[in-house]
Chain A
Amino acid sequence: MSFLIEAGIKVTFAFVFLLLTVLALVWVERKFVSDLQNRIGPDRAGPWGILQTLADGLKAFFKESITPSRAEVGLYIAAPIVSMVLAFLMFLVIPIGAPIEINGNVYTLQVMDLNVGVLYILAISSVAVYAITLAGWSSGSKYPMLGSVRASAQMISYEAVMGLALVPVVMFTGTMSLSAIVEAQQGTFGGFIPAWNVVLLPSFVIFLIAGFAETNRAPFDLVEAEQELVGGFHTEYSGMRFALFFLAEYINVFNIAALTTTLFLGGWAGPVFGPTVLQWILPTFWFLLKTWLIVLFFVWVRASLPRMRYDQLMNFGWKKLIPLSLVWIIFTAIALGFRKFGAPWV
């Protein structure tokens, strides 16, 4: 029974945490992009426009949810919900802080610790394409349809890239559990360089690029290319249903940033000192700091790079990233083999 209560608390907390994160994330993105583009950005609602997202959310809540007459109603309504649920599910396996020990009971700051955590991530992100595909199809309209066909092709391609980028991490740490991967990144090389998986630099770069494509963000936002497809898969959506898609997209951005932190940047690893309370809070602080830096990197890239052409996107994925990651996997395997068994000529 206590297990159920703990799980309930964790899930509720994760939900609230993600919603608040999205509120902050949208505001940070708009402010940061407007700074980069020499604009002012939102500055009316609240100090520095910090309440702008909340106001937009409230507005979406009260707007009419239009259903096109040619839509397949059931799927049309289900698609945004599925999209949101999958984005939420992805977050559940990410450890956001060091385990906390209170009165001899150890509480992990992670909703669930799966021994196939990495595969779970891949499974969720491979299913996420259905929400977009079905949203586009069930709208019964041309532009959403084109957007969703693009989306499925793009997400399948970069799904493979992402999976291959994760293989060296699993080989290097020897585990698929995300909390164990973070544990494996504790400590330092030579006393001062953190022992993070970022030493697998090609994997790190490839994973980040695949992350851009998986979240359908610039420079890979062909799925919702405004100039060509009006709004892509969500053209026909309005009101709260559109807001759900929007929410899911931003949760996914945060998820990818948090995953990058967990897999490559040591997760919650960082200097911990001071009284007990500070020791509980500091790991989470390091985790959030790293994650938000990655998020800012996402925003920076969005403001800097133009959108790729569709054939460039496909060529880049299949002819450059996949061969590169395969070569890197073989190289990592050979290096790890040397480390474990020694050189064959010795």
Chain B
Amino acid sequence: MGKLVKFFSRRRTWSLPYVLFLAVFVVAPLLLIMVYAFQAEDGGFSLENFEKFIHQREAMNTFIYSIGIALITTLICILLGYPAAYILSKMRTSTARVVVMLFILPMWINVLVRTLATVALFDFLTLPLGEGALIFGMVYNFLPFMIYPIYNVLQKMDHSLIEAAEDLGATPRQVFTKVVFPLSMPGIVSGIMMVFMPTISTFAIAELLTMNNIKLFGTTIQENINNGMWHYGAALSFIMLVIIGLTTLFTGSDDENSANDGGLL
């Protein structure tokens, strides 16, 4: 009896359900992807899935195109999101909180519903669906994830740093380029992680907003898996995981503690 009480009173015990969940639904599938990716159809170890990817022009092209779209989306999000975050950070906290709320509110609606609404909007305005619509949809969906971390960093920035720069002779523009912007980099990095990574792997937005005319890498993976090409699909997923991993590594190396400052979570 005493042992049981002791067991349940330990903090470690309480993390067990989540650890189990993580193991079954996150770690195991990831391992499965790795195993499948390096397996031939007959079950033996092979690199043939990766060879297929390199030699099959179509998958490779989709892959490069997807990264291109993700880069463009991220860039547009930075260009639109930074000024928005900057203006927000200058507002009174109470006002800013309401506006941030308005930015985040649409996020509570399912991404498919939002995208279908976008399709309807383009229809209504008789605008063609396609690449432009795709980028619009991506930016529309992911912009809040760029604004929020940047806003967070700007808002927490020690105001005396700005005053110190002014005091040392910096014009308002120099204050921005030499102090505010460099110090908001952790927020931008967080924003990139929140936007770039999900955009590489989306497929629903691409399908709906381009009437299935443009394929993104996510779509390719989905198609392969749907068609029973488990090993090839796993290999493609594996490649994407590596790209995401590399992005994290690249952006995360900036500064351990400042990266946390801008986190959305």
A, B from the same assembly: no
Interface residues, chain B, with chain A CB atoms under 8 Å away = none
Interface residues, chain A, with chain B CB atoms under 8 Å away = none
